[in-house]
Amino acid sequence: MIVRMSEARVLPGLLDQFVEFIVERAWPAMEAADGFVGGELYRADSASEPRLVLLTRWRDEAALAGFAGPDWRSTPVVLPDEQRFLARPLHVSHFTQVVGRVS
């Protein structure tokens, strides 16, 4: 399994709208992708630098590449109209599981 973390620095005042945009437009596309295992969406409310972090889990690198394209390691998936919410370009990182659930 591989985990992809996408971090968005959002323009002040647009965090609620961006959350809605991701839930309505990005999430369904990921759910429909072969190899998508699940994910979570987190927000950091800040007056000066609101952020949104999307963690997604994929069956393997091939599944992630099938969704995000051949440059998946460095290039985020950006939907049309998404840039209007962003203070900076999206940042992506990838992680592979080392240990299972820790209690």
pLDDT reported for residue 99:
82
Residues in the chain: 103
Q: Is residue 101 part of a domain?
A: no
Structural domain boundaries enclosing 32: 2-96
Contact (Cβ atoms closer than 8 angstroms) between residue 94 and residue 2: yes
pLDDT tens column, 19-29? 999 999 999 99
pLDDT tens column, 38-96? 999 999 998 889 999 999 999 999 999 999 999 999 999 999 999 999 999 999 999 99
Q: How confident is the model at residue 103 (pLDDT cuts 50, 70, 90)?
A: low
Task: Kindly report the three-state secondary structure assignment for every residue of 58-83.
Answer: ECCHHHHHHHHCCCCCCCCCCCCCHH
Count up the domains in the chain and report the number. Answer: 1
Q: Is residue 61 part of a domain?
A: yes
